[in-house]
Amino acid sequence: MQFNVFLSVAKKEILDNIRNKWVILVSLMFALLTLVVSYFGSIGSNGWQDLGNTISGMTQLGSFLISIVALMLGYATIIGEIERGSMSALLSLSATRFEITVGKFLGLGAVLCLTILIGYGVAGLVIAVNVSNVDYLAYLGFIGMTMVFGLVFLSVALFFSTVFSKRSTALGGAIFLWFLFNIILPIIFVGLLATTIDFTKITMETTLIVPDWYHVLNLFNPISVYSSLIGMTIGPVQSSTGSGFIPNPSWYSSGLLMGVLLAWIIVFFTLAVWRFQRKDV
Amino acid sequence: MVSQLVRCPTCKTTISLLGEPGEKISITCPNCNQKGIFTVPGEKSQRTIASDSAAIEVNNLTKTYNSFTAVNNVSFRVQKGEIFGFLGPNGAGKTTTIKSMLDLIHANTGAISINGINVRTGGKEAKKSIGYMPEKVAFYDNLTALQNMMFYAELKHASKEECIRLIDEFGLGDAGKKRVGTFSKGMVQRLGMARAILGNPSILILDEPSGGLDPRGVVLIRDKILEMKKKGTTIFVSSHILSEIQEICDRVGIINKGVLVAQDTVEGLRKKLNLKPHITVTVDAISGKIENAVKKLPGIDSVKTIGNNTLEIICDGAMKAKVILAISTAGANIQNIQTKEPTLEEVFMKYTEA
């Protein structure tokens, strides 16, 4: 295992991807929308505790757009190189598949984190200008957690790029993944919940009692885990699961949710290495 | 290395194996596809040591894709410092063999060593001595030629100065700071050759290095191959340009439908096939009398009239004097005589005609 291989591959990934027009386009869109949300959310606020909706909006934007950027960065990183022919030249050098996968993850992760840092960094400046008594540490934590969330999608995309034998199918897989986590899974989970709860009897005064299995299921969707984590750790945001109106259970903790996100990264990264080791190039 | 004959338990086909004592070799019977594992008798050694003079050693390589056998029990050796040409029709298994040599694809059975190191178990070490130019040369389009070369240089522990020199040597000096995405196919191909020889490897593996190049590019690549040979580099080259292979290679191997059907020097292959030279005789005017005089000679394989003053005769080289005498005796004025040995193309066609 050679550290210089990790660094060389990571550096190459950064150079290659910061010039990728699609990544630039989506990142700009993310930065612009975040700027709009943070500006209009902060101009009339009365302080940090008043920013709940703004941070929630930024979280929502993050889960939609950061997942796209991560999937776009990662879906073709292995299969794209195999299909194009550059992977065979890379593997003919004294670099192992593990070293290449680590290098790619580090490089693409750096590009992703830079995108998040620019987008939320600009928003942070806007908030700092318009809002008094900003909890900068909490805001930095928010950026850090978003980075971890982005790395989850990057890790899943990396695995997908080793599974498919064509770049085009990998793209289809990435699009499906985005729909799965952003739309399909939340609908399925809430649909399952609807079969056990009579929503017609719920009033403003009723305390919604949600079964534990629903919260367990939500741990299998990184988007739900991310929004619950932000809700539990960032002061102004109310605690809620990905479906928005259901409160987090008492047994959710920031440690558990962060652990789940890290587990997603480790499991899918390991699967990507395992699959790539067995793949013919 | 120990050579061993194994009999397939299902169809009783005899399979030849080469392996280290104690080594477990997975076998797929080329006849009935029965799979099995065979342990080579004797004590296990730490490292696969090829003979001192072998730079590349491939033993009993087989690669199948579902029911299709791409490479079937292929074995060959490339000696240090030689240029070995690897020929075969499209889809014969050339690229599969090359990719197996680099451990890019995982062979079903067989052992491959580079400078004595097994590529499966010691790939990282084995690949340190290799420069490779794939059939499909590709770079990172968003990076410049120099940035691309610098990336490979870092992994090969080569210097920036060497990158710049090679870019210049391959006629890409002006384009060094342009993105590779803007390059023509020929420019990419030339940069691919520059990448292969970066770091001065002791073994060069070139898969169709002249593909997509203009004549000037072909000459450039050929000269570079010969220059590398002079430095003592072992070169394994696969190409469809048979005249080029004939010109530069010390030995050739011919693969057809996944089976290595021949390996020898071009001269050796000609002899094995008993291919005879072509004697072209130009006279003032051809007549039936002259043609018959040649045809009547014993040991003449064929006589063909080209135009109205040339005869092409295929016969043993030793017959040349008798042919000249017969033509002169028949009353012809000989203006020119040329003897052409059978080309590699003829050898190739013979071996791959089935």
- What pLDDT digit, counting tens, does each position of B218-259 carry? 999 999 999 999 999 999 999 888 888 888 999 999 999 999
- What sign has the CA pseudo-torsion A84, A90, A96, A98? negative
Alpha-carbon distance of B272 to A88, in angstroms, equals 36
Question: Looking only at Cα atoms, what is the longest distance across chain A?
Answer: 67
Work out the minimum CA distance from A100 to partner chain B, whole angstroms.
11
CB atoms under 10 Å from CB of A178, counted, come to 20
Q: What is the pLDDT of residue B39?
A: 76
The structural domains of chain B, ordered by start, are 78-264 (3.40.50.300), 274-352 (3.30.70.100)
Which pairing describes strands B83-87 and B234-238: parallel, antiparallel, or unpaired? parallel
The lowest-confidence range among A200-209, B86-95, B112-121, B264-273 is A200-209
Work out the minimum CA distance from A74 to partner chain B, whole angstroms.
16
Q: What is the pLDDT of residue B48?
A: 42
Look at A54 and B18; give whichever has higher pLDDT.
A54
The lowest-confidence range among A27-36, B112-121, B155-164 is A27-36
CB-based contacts of A157, cutoff 8 Å, min separation 6:
A70, A71, A73, A74, A75, A77, A174, A177
For range B71-96, the mean pLDDT: 93
The candidate with the shortest Cα–Cα distance to A227, out of A211, A203, A243, is A243
Locate the domains of chain A by residue range: 3-277
Which range, A189-193, B133-137, B288-292, is most confident?
B133-137
Candidates A16, A92, A95; nearest CB to B142: A16
Mean pLDDT over the full length of chain B: 87
Q: What is the pLDDT of residue B3?
A: 55
Residue B13 has pLDDT above 60, yes or no: yes
Q: What is the pLDDT of residue A239?
A: 56
pLDDT tens-place string over residues B257-286: 999 999 999 888 888 888 888 899 999 888
The complex scores an ipTM of 0.82
- Per CB-CB distance under 8 Å, the chain A contacts of B132 are 88-89, 92
> A84 to chain B: nearest residue by CA?
B138
pLDDT tens-place string over residues A125-176: 888 888 877 788 888 999 999 999 999 999 999 999 999 989 999 999 999 9
- Per CB-CB distance under 8 Å, the chain A contacts of B154 are 4, 8
Work out the minimum CA distance from B169 to partner chain A, whole angstroms.
21
Alpha-carbon distance of B21 to B3, in angstroms, equals 10
Q: What is the pLDDT of residue A256?
A: 96
- For an interface test with A, which of B155, B193, B202, B205 has the most A Cβ atoms less than 10 Å from its Cβ? B155
The candidate with the shortest Cα–Cα distance to B125, out of A78, A279, A2, A270, is A2
Cβ–Cβ gap A280/B105 under 8 Å:
yes
**Stated pTM of the model:** 0.81
Work out the minimum CA distance from B192 to partner chain A, whole angstroms.
9
Q: What is the pLDDT of residue A71?
A: 93
Q: What is the pLDDT of residue B174?
A: 85
Alpha-carbon distance of A146 to A61, in angstroms, equals 11
Residues of A with CB under 8 A from a CB of B: 4-5, 8, 11-12, 15-17, 19-20, 84-86, 88-96, 278, 280-281
Cβ–Cβ gap A8/B151 under 8 Å:
yes
Q: What is the pLDDT of residue B5?
A: 65
> A6 to chain B: nearest residue by CA?
B155
Cβ–Cβ gap B137/A85 under 8 Å:
yes
Residue B7 has pLDDT above 60, yes or no: yes
